[in-house]
Amino acid sequence: MIDQFDDKFLKAHKITGGYGSGPDILHACDISVGKGEIAVIVGPNGAGKSTAMKAIFGMLDVREGSVLLDGVDISNFSTQDRVRAGMGFVPQNQNIFTSMTVEENLEMGAFIRKDDFSDTLEQVFELFPVLKEKRRQAAGELSGGQRQQVAVGRALMTQPKILMLDEPTAGVSPIVMDELFDRIIEVSRTGIPILMVEQNARQALGIADTGFVMVQGRNAYTGSGKELLADPEVRKSFLGG
């Protein structure tokens, strides 16, 4: 198995926490991702996958542990400050403005920027050609897969140092899922690290440099995507044999 903290861009180390004054949902979790890598968090329903992502993004109370981004401890940063530090986050639900056009949605993604973002907009259109074709269409009229492309594109408009995706293929067909994964691979090839929570564990591990299998808020297995796909215990317990 790999040394997950060797030269990683994002390091969430031994994070423990939950929502408000409620019980801890995460228990000493380690999550990390290197530059240009795809890391995925998989596991059964209720394992704490999305909670771990939200903890890294500053959306819940982390009572123990630390989060480092490019060597900087951001554990006490607000969510807004984490965006300014370079985190791009795409939530699973309500991740676009349905009444706005595709182009207006993307422009909203550049809200923290003071410079000319037209080049970034063209890069997003190059990555997602269908969005250029439908740039003047209301985002609410798009298919589920196209909406997800808008959500990812909007996050890329901030020029993030890392892209975090919570269940990007939820509710889409297998064909659309494959297309979204292809686009995610293309983003990672530009050098942007990607951290992704996914229910489609087998497919996600197939494109992952690193995989984290979570169970009841804890790390159960960690390894490369290939290692986890080949592990008989992981296959039996989480991948249907």
Tell me: the pLDDT tens digits for 87-103? 999 998 888 999 999 99
CA angle (216 as vertex; 92, 199 as ends), nearest 5: 35
The answer to whether position 130 is within a domain reads no
Q: How many domains does the chain have?
A: 1
The answer to whether position 175 is within a domain reads no
Residues spanned by the domain of 22: 1-86+163-169+192-241
pLDDT of residue 113: 84
Which of 85, 44, 95, 62 has the alpha carbon at shortest distance from 197?
44
The answer to whether position 9 is within a domain reads yes
CA-derived radius of gyration, the chain: 17
The answer to whether position 156 is within a domain reads no
The answer to whether position 79 is within a domain reads yes
Q: Percent of the chain beyond pLDDT 70?
A: 97
pLDDT of residue 171: 86
pLDDT of residue 2: 41
Query: What CATH number is given to the structural domain containing 70?
Result: 3.40.50.300
Phi and psi of 179, rounded to 5°? Answer: -65, -45
The answer to whether position 122 is within a domain reads no
The answer to whether position 179 is within a domain reads no
Residue 136, CA distances (Å) to 6, 99, 126, 133, 140 in order: 45, 11, 16, 8, 12
pLDDT of residue 241: 63
The answer to whether position 13 is within a domain reads yes
pLDDT tens for each residue of 160-214:
999 999 999 998 899 999 999 999 999 999 999 999 999 999 999 999 999 999 9
